[in-house]
Amino acid sequence: MNILILGGTGDALALIKALRELTASHPWILVLSLAGRTRSQFPGDWQVRIGGFGGLEGLKHYLQTVPIHLLVDATHPFADQISHQAWAAADALAMPYLRLTRSPWQPGAGDRWIEAANHREAAAQLLTLGRRIFLSIGRQDLANYAHLKEFWFLMRMVEQPDAAALLLPGFILLEKGPFLATSERSLLEQYAIEAVVSKNSGGTATYGKIIAARELQLPVVMIQRPSPPPGPSVATVEEAIAWILQWSNGQF
């Protein structure tokens, strides 16, 4: 049984590690697929393939030729394109499919969230919120803010951005989470941040900035998730393992 896990997230890594532990009693061959956006290495006792498949047709071809028996989409909630392609490929091939996507954060007491459907809306919201902004959105979407010339941005990302991001006035922090709420609070204070822009990624690794913003009573422009694909979905690694064990035992 060949299981393909579309990754690029901590959850994908946690899932494949947990499944690897079970391979002594289950005949699974595990393959982790990464887009290749970062240079991070994920050493482990499983196969890794890196790079796009070549769209929907390329993915279908890959799934059929390996062949893959179960497709698990454990990509980031904002990795919209690959997730819809994954579901479309599995659906077209009648292949068992599961999506692992952690639950979104919910605003709590003391949070000052402003919901935005996308980056364009988020950029528009900033006009009334201040001029010193923590853009905690990664590097791919920075160009959406490039027209805000009179702003100053603290921009955090894992890898050096492309040239478009360098046009934004401010400072680039190259760092990878998890981040503690205490250090996030210090960061916001150090740079006199007036508002935070975040994607509603969910999970604990990057939640520290939300806690810090709450403590400092700063507004957070929270970008909502894109629509998920249809198909079975679970929110935790534990639920994914239970589902995969049931699938492996032929229960569906």
Residues that bind ligand NAP (CB under 6 A): 6-9, 33-35, 37, 52-55, 58-59, 75-76, 78-82, 85, 138, 140, 199
Question: Residue 203, by phi and psi: left (phi above 0), alpha (psi -120 to 50) or beta?
Answer: left
Q: Please, what is the angle between helix 181-190 and helix 208-215, to 10°? A: 60
Nearer to ligand NAP, 185 or 208 (CB): 208
Which among 187, 188, 210 is positioned nearest to 198, based on CA atoms?
Answer: 210
Nearer to ligand NAP, 26 or 84 (CB): 84
Q: How far is CA 214 from the centre of its chain?
A: 22
Closest separation in Å from C-beta 250 to ligand NAP: 28
For 151, the token pair is 């702003």
Nearer to ligand NAP, 107 or 226 (CB): 226
Which among 12, 56, 45, 38 is positioned nearest to 176, based on CA atoms?
Answer: 38
Closest separation in Å from C-beta 65 to ligand NAP: 15
DSSP state of 145: G
User: CB-based contacts of 170: which residues, under 8 Å, 6+ apart?
Assistant: 133, 135, 151, 152, 153, 154, 155
Nearer to ligand NAP, 93 or 216 (CB): 93
Nearer to ligand NAP, 32 or 185 (CB): 32
Q: What is the CA radius of gyration of the chain?
A: 20
d(CA 218, CA 212): 8
Closest separation in Å from C-beta 94 to ligand NAP: 20
Residue type at position 136: S
Nearer to ligand NAP, 198 or 248 (CB): 198
d(CA 89, CA 241): 22
Closest separation in Å from C-beta 8 to ligand NAP: 2
Closest separation in Å from C-beta 69 to ligand NAP: 18
Closest separation in Å from C-beta 21 to ligand NAP: 22
